[in-house]
Amino acid sequence: MTARAVARWQAAAPYAVGLVAALGVLAVLVAALGGDAPAAVGSLVRASLGSAAGFGQTLNKTAPLLFGSVAVILGLRAGAFNIGVDGQIYAGAVAATGVAFLAAGLPKLLAVPAVLVAGAAGGALLGAVPGLLRARAGVSEIFVTVMLNFIALFFVEYLSTGPWNDPMAGEAITRAVPPSTTLPLLGVRVGAHAGVLLALAAALAVWWLLYRTVFGYEVRAVGDNPTAARLGGIPVGRTVALALVASGALAGLAGAVEVSGFHYRLILGLSPGYGVMSILIAVLSRRHPLVAIVASLGFAALVVGTDSLQRSVGLPASAVFVVQAAVLLVLLASEGLRRAP
Amino acid sequence: MQRWIAWAVLLAVVASVGVAGAAPSRPRLAMILPGVIQDADFNAVGYQALKEVQATTGVQTAHSEQVAVADAERVAREYLASGYGIVAFHGGQYLTIVQKLAPLFPDAVFIMESSGQIPNLPPNVWNIGRKFHEGFYVLGVLAALSTKTNRIGYVAGIRLPDFVASLNAVFQAVAKYNPRAEVLYTFVGDQNDPVKARQAAESQIAAGVDFIVISVNLGTVGILEAARAARRPVLLTTFYTDKSSYAPQHFAASLLSNFGKPYVEVTRQILAGKRGGYYEMRPGSGFGLTPPRNVPPEVARRVQQVWRAVVLRQERVDEITDRVVERR
Amino acid sequence: MSWELLLDPSLVRLAVSMAVPLALASAGELLMERAGLLNVAIEGIVTLAAAGAFLGAFASGSAGVGLVVGAAAGAAVSRLLAHYAVAWRRDQVTVGLTLYVLCVGLASLLYRMVVGVRLTPPRVETLPPVPLPWLGDLPLVGDILFRQHALVYAAAAVVGALHGFLFHTSLGLRLRAAGENPVAADTVGVDVFGLRAWAALAGGALVGLAGAALPFTLTGTFTEGIAGGRGWIALMLVIFGRWTPLGAAAGALLFAYVEAFQFKLALLSKAVPPQFLQMLPYAFAILVLVRAYRGAEAPEALGKPYDREART
């Protein structure tokens, strides 16, 4: 075997360990709840990947996770931690819904792109806040993005229970967006919408941006060594700010896709933890957008699968976070062990 | 004689086989719940209703808890794919999913909840309309007649039409039964955050409130703590379940909700062949009032009189869901 | 807006009580950051400690047991973070965020597994107010400061002790050196790794105590969102307080006051939709942070792994 192949296997080994760890942790949790662990794992795979309907739902979940994880990756590459993906998803969803209501009369070919662009703009706006604060005042984006998450959530609550509320629903749900603004389906019974294709395109676009453009080069340079980058003439502050804006735009697209592809409304529970999952996926993918495609699919399958276990074993929803985080911790530890003297 | 017996036996055998073969396998019912069933609140009563359906109609049931709206479609599709003929959604936030799935699965029946009759629902949807505000009107009467400081508090979570209507009902009751009393209200933004609920209640108590009508779910324990920490006696009312055992000296009444009534009735109708319709859940058909306590007996009697009047629709409660009307 | 409105005694009293989790969490975080460890898992730790404290008290019937469990949980998770950061030199923010997710998930998982299916949600007794013998009778001030529950006094003691430790003991000096200039400290014989590990244990215990305070002082229950962003706020308070315990505690009081004031404001201003008032504390926190960042001097080596063999 060539040295390169050996290196590839060595790089992949932690992922295999991670996968085993995931299944192991899951088996332990299931057993602790009195369930049949092997059967649980089997039903998990079946529910998420084994049936057309299940796979469709997995694809639907992949879309926001992929958007979110490449958003985080873009930020990480510039050395910034975008923990505000949840808030940016909501901001994008708000903008998308608003534009959707306005675009009621437009033909589908115009309405859908308008809604998507609005979503990106909404997310970008929210990403600009930490970006500007970091560029101008050197404020860490970690705290700002988290606070903005809360603020965005309250704003969505205001809209979905106030001016945009659907009175018949009696809940924090807005009126439906016009049919001309909805994304096409990939198969009616399967239930998957075109959003996953958009997310795929976004991941490829981010890859191309990072590795084939000057801006991408600058982003990576700033992320790897800001001092050297500054000395090399790259405007560090501006680059980081732009990266955060772009990161926000990607997350905002996730929000737009969820509204126009999945719910057809703006709802309060639009993002059930996509933000934190995106961070985990980004780290797991070693900050590489193409690896994130596979990782997002894997996480989506895990979410869909563990949810089906809720019915058979009584595994609570929070278990999926435990499994995901445990996998990452194992991975981080194994890499650390390899590196330690 | 023997021939008669033989014919009779043959007939009986044919009849029993025919009945067994022809009897359609009963549809199974799956219920989707937004929270956990051990919340002793909204989800617990949903689960109770499910058990009651199984016990009274014999229909096999299953349930999923903590189903966020974002996941409900997937969960429902899984049930439908596993052959469940009836999918029930306990909560008004699933309307959009029902509207989406019902046309796609015309052989299944969907049960959903909302605050009233929704136009243009697909034919295989049963809609349970919950008229909370009528019950809250009576709680408002209790508050109006019991308050000594003439300051009544109302704590709710998210500013939903249901709760706005309930608040307006309280205003209406207070205006009629104790016009001198003032109603202070706070929407804390979360039905299940006891911390925020406690803070809101403490603010209200500090402003002079001595009777709080609670319109939050798990947040109730926070308000209870505020009442216990208060310097003067504070009375509370809750809804969904009777939580008076937490602190008997602080609870005046609870607006109980028996979702079993609508769900059993609707299931019976489905089994009888009626695949869609509307059932109104209101005082007397799903909502009940615990006997008032910690208040003077004549107040308790009056309140129960008003309750009966509301049940019989002799006393009308306005339903205003879009804005808060402070004075009537 | 009149002064009476702003300085309503019951409001200030509430703020003092609500400041306890913030003060304890920021004190713990501050201790870790002074040694050079940035712990962004703090929100998760607070949640996990709250769950652990609740379950401990629920199972044993004793609040003391609950507090110990909460502190232990905080110490354990922080020590794990320190191990990843110090022994394996992983990026502290990455590990912190991962632990944040783990703790939040673990908290609700453990709660579900221990509490199980019940008809009534479990409750533990909240801490009663403990009036101090002579101070509690002082007019106005006595009610606000000296008729509070035990954790208020404990938090005040912790803040004072931490200040004394950091700035008036040699061990505190060594710890600060480990965070400012680990290379120089190492050459003089300061055990950088060991100090960071101990800071994680002690600081993590304080953060855990903050989490434990939540069920015992506010509601007597555990709910998933009980932390409510307080962990993140504590991160900000450390910066606001310029990495000093007294500064962070002052920030905690300020923030708790704004939080309590929001509800009073809700009762008065009906024209403003409630959700905008709810945004108030968080927007306020961003503004405070931006203001506090000017001239704020973080410990030099904060967040950077100390690698003995590195050249830079």
Chain segment B53-102, per-residue pLDDT in tens: 999 999 999 988 878 777 788 889 889 988 999 999 998 888 888 998 99
Inter-axis angle of helices A108-137 and A236-257, to 10 degrees? 150
Q: Map chain B to HEC letters.
A: CHHHHHHHHHHHHHHHHHHHHHCCCCCCEEEECCCCHHHCCHHHHHHHHHHHHHHHHCCCEEEECCCCHHHHHHHHHHHHHCCCCEEEECCHHHHHHHHHHHHHCCCCEEEEEECCCCCCCCCCEEEEEECHHHHHHHHHHHHHHHCCCCEEEEEECCCCHHHHHHHHHHHHHHHHHCCCCEEEEEECCCCCCHHHHHHHHHHHHHCCCCEEEEECCCCHHHHHHHHHHCCCCCEEEEEECCCHHHCCCCEEEEEEECCHHHHHHHHHHHHCCCCCEEEEEEECEEEEECCCCCCCHHHHHHHHHHHHHHHCCCCCCCCCCCCCCCCC
- Phi, then psi, of C267 in degrees rounded to 5: -75, -25
Q: Dig out the tokens for A156 from the structure.
A: 């969505």
Hey, is B111 helix, strand or coil?
strand
| Whether C263 and B200 lie within 8 Å, measured CB to CB | yes
Q: How many domains does chain C have?
A: 1
Cβ neighbour number for residue A237 with a 10 Å cutoff: 17
Chains with 3+ CB–CB pairs under 8 A to C are A, B
Element (H, E) at A89: helix A85-102
SS3 state of residue B238: strand
Q: Put the strands of the sheet holding B277-283 in their side by side order.
A: B61-64, B29-32, B86-89, B109-114, B125-130, B277-283, B286-289, B251-257, B235-240, B211-215, B151-156, B182-187
pLDDT at A156: 94
Contact A321 C101 (CB under 8 A): yes
Chain A residue numbers touching B95 (CB-CB < 8 A): 166, 168-171, 173
Is residue C223, in this structure, part of any structural domain at all? Answer: yes
CA distance C47 to A121: 34
Length of chain A: 341
User: Using the 8-state DSSP alphabet, how is residue A193 labeled?
Assistant: B
Cβ-defined contact of A318 to C285 (cutoff 8 Å): no
| Structural domain of C264 | 13-128+172-293
Query: In Å, how far are A194, A195, A277 from A64, measured between CA atoms?
Result: 12, 8, 10
Q: What is the pLDDT of residue B327?
A: 63
What is the C-alpha radius of gyration for chain A, rounded to an integer number of angstroms?
21
Of C110, C88, C84, C111, which is closest to residue C98 (Cα–Cα)?
A: C84
Report whether pLDDT(A91) > 50.
yes
Condensed to tens digits (0 to 9), the pLDDT of residues C86-109 reads 888 888 988 999 999 999 999 988
CA distance C239 to chain A (A): 10
The answer to whether the CB atoms of A155 and C279 lie below 8 A apart is: yes
Kindly state whether B320 is in contact with chain A, defined as any CB-CB distance less than 8 angstroms. Answer: no
User: Which stretches of chain C sit within 8 Å of chain A by CB?
Assistant: 40, 84, 87-90, 93-95, 97-102, 104-109, 112-113, 224, 229, 232, 235-236, 273, 275-276, 278-279, 282-283, 285-286, 289-290, 293-294, 309
Check whether residue B33 and residue B122 sit in a common domain. Answer: yes
Subunit contact A139:C289, Cβ cutoff 8 A: yes
Q: Which of B70, B75, B96 sits opposite A272 (nearest CB)?
A: B70
Say if residue B168 is in the same domain as residue B304: yes
User: Does A269 contact chain B (CB < 8 Å)?
Assistant: yes
Predicted confidence at residue C67, as pLDDT, reads 93
A158: left (phi over 0), alpha (psi -120 to 50) or beta: alpha
Side chain identity, residue A319: A
Give the residue extent of every domain in chain A. Answer: 21-334
Do B109 and B121 lie in one domain? The reply is: yes
Q: Which domain holds residue B109?
A: 25-130+259-283
Task: Give chain B's end-to-end CA distance (angstroms, integer).
Answer: 83
Asked whether residue B107 is domain-assigned, the answer is yes
DSSP A292-334: HHHHHHHHHHHHHHHHHHHHHT---TTHHHHHHHHHHHHHHHH
Task: Name the token pair of C140.
Answer: 């106005």
C29 inside domain: yes
Mean pLDDT across the stretch A307-311?
A: 73
Q: Does residue B328 lie in a domain region? A: no
Split at pLDDT 50, 70, 90, the class of A311 is low
Q: pLDDT grade, residue C295 (50/70/90)? A: low
Q: Are residues B139 and B241 in the same domain?
A: yes
B301 and B209 both lie in a single domain: yes
> What pLDDT is recorded for position C82?
94
Q: How far C84 CA sits from the closest chain A CA (Å)?
A: 7
Q: What tokens were used for B298?
A: 């004549």
Distance of alpha carbon C206 from alpha carbon B169, whole angstroms: 47
**Co-location of B54 and B96 in the same domain:** yes
pLDDT for B276 equals 92
Considering the domain architecture, whether residues B223 and B298 belong to the same structural domain is answered as yes
CB A327 within 8 A of CB A22: yes
Nearest Cβ partner of B221 from C119, C123, C275? C123
B-side interface with C, Cβ within 8 Å? 36-41, 44, 159, 184, 186-190, 192-196, 198-200, 202-204, 206-207, 218, 221-222, 225, 229, 243, 245-246, 324, 326
Where are any strands of DSSP class E within chain B?
A: 29-32, 61-64, 86-89, 109-114, 125-130, 151-156, 182-187, 211-215, 235-240, 251-257, 277-283, 286-289
Whether B78 sits inside 8 A of A157 (CB atoms) is: no
- Note whether C274 contacts B195, CB cutoff 8 Å: no
Q: Is the dihedral of CA C132, C136, C137, C138 positive or negative?
A: positive
Q: Domain for residue C151, yes or no? A: no
* B112 within domain boundaries: yes
Q: What is the pLDDT of residue A286?
A: 87
- How far is Cα B161 from Cα B166, in angstroms, rounded to an integer? 8
In this complex, do B70 and A263 lie within 8 Å of one another by their Cβ atoms?
Answer: yes
Same domain? For B217 and B271 the reply is: no
Size of interface A-B (CB pairs under 8 A): 105
Please indicate, yes or no, if residue B326 is contained in any of the structural domains.
Answer: no
User: B86 and B101 share a domain?
Assistant: yes
- Is A307 a residue whose pLDDT tops 80? no
Q: Report d(CA C73, CA C41) in Å as an integer.
A: 12
Identify the residue with better confidence: A91 or B203: A91
d(C-alpha C307, C-alpha C312), whole Å: 9
**What's the CATH number where B181 sits?**
3.40.50.2300
- Tell me, yes or no, whether B76 and B159 share the same domain: no
Question: pLDDT tens digits for C132-183?
Answer: 887 777 777 777 788 788 889 999 999 999 999 999 999 999 898 888 888 8
Question: Burial, C129: exposed, middle or buried (Cβ in 10 Å; 0-12, 13-18, 19+)?
Answer: middle
In a domain, residue B83? The reply is yes
Q: Per residue in A196-211, is it b (16+ CB within 10 Å) or e — as a string? A: bebbeebbeebbebbe
Q: Considering only CA atoms, which of A249, A262, A226 is closest in space to residue A62? A: A262
**Which residue do the tokens 């955060």 mark?**
A244
Query: Among partner residues A171, A188, A308, which is closest to B160 by beta-carbon distance?
Result: A171
**Alpha carbons C143 and C13: distance in angstroms, whole number:** 7
Kindly report the CATH number assigned to the domain that includes residue C122. Answer: 1.10.3470.10
- Please report, in angstroms and rounded to a whole number, the separation of the first and last CA atoms in chain A: 26
Is it the case that residue A14 has pLDDT exceeding 80?
A: no
- Which pLDDT score is estimated for B16? 47
C contacts of B225 (beta carbons < 8 Å): 126, 218-220
Chain C residues in contact with B159 by the CB 8 A cut-off are 273-275
Q: What is the CA radius of gyration of chain B?
A: 23
Report d(CA B14, CA B250) in Å as an integer: 65
CA distance B49 to B61: 11
B186:C226 CB<8 A: no
Beta bridge partners of A267: A173
At residue B192, the pLDDT reads 81
Closest CA to C252 of C197, C198, C213, C225: C213
DSSP state of A48: I
- Angle CA A48–A57–B69, to nearest 5: 115
Considering only residues 106 to 145 of chain A, which have any Cβ-Cβ distance to chain C shorter than 8 Å?
A: 133, 137-139, 142-144
Count of the separate structural domains present in chain B? 2
Q: Which chains touch B (3 or more CB pairs under 8 A)?
A: A, C
B269-308 pLDDT, tens digit per residue, is: 999 999 999 999 999 988 999 999 999 999 999 999 999 9
Residues of chain B with pLDDT > 70, as a percent, come to 91
Lowest mean pLDDT among B295-304, C72-81, C207-216, C253-262: C253-262
- Domain membership flag for residue C224: yes
Residues B199 and B305 in one domain: yes
- Do the beta carbons of residue A48 and residue A298 sit within 8 Å? no
**Chain B residues inside the 8 Å CB shell of C267:** 184, 186, 203-204, 207
> Which pLDDT score, from 0 to 100, does residue B9 have?
55
CATH number of A21-334, picked from 1.10.3470, 3.30.70, 1.20.1460, 1.10.238: 1.10.3470
| Residue A143 contacts residue C235 (beta carbons within 8 Å) | yes
ipTM for the whole complex: 0.84
pLDDT tens sequence for chain B (328 residues): 666 665 655 555 555 444 444 445 688 999 999 887 767 788 889 999 999 999 999 999 998 887 877 778 888 988 998 899 999 999 888 888 899 899 999 999 999 998 888 888 999 999 999 999 999 999 999 999 999 999 999 999 887 888 889 999 999 999 999 999 999 999 887 888 888 898 899 989 988 999 999 999 888 888 998 998 888 899 999 988 887 777 889 999 999 999 999 999 999 999 999 999 999 999 998 899 999 999 999 999 999 999 999 999 988 888 888 788 886 4
Give the model's pLDDT for residue A148: 94
**Exposed/middle/buried for residue B73 (C-beta within 10 Å: 0-12, 13-18, 19+):** buried
pTM score: 0.84
Residues 26-85 of A with CB under 8 A from C: 29, 32-33, 81, 83
Phi-psi region at A107: left, alpha or beta (left = phi > 0; alpha = psi -120 to 50): beta
B–C CB contacts, 8 A cutoff, strictly below:
95
Nearest by CB: A269 against B64, B69, B130: B69
What are B183's strand-pairing partners? B152
Whether residue B201 sits in one domain with residue B306: yes
In a domain, C305, yes or no: no
Adjacent-strand bridge partners of B240: B256
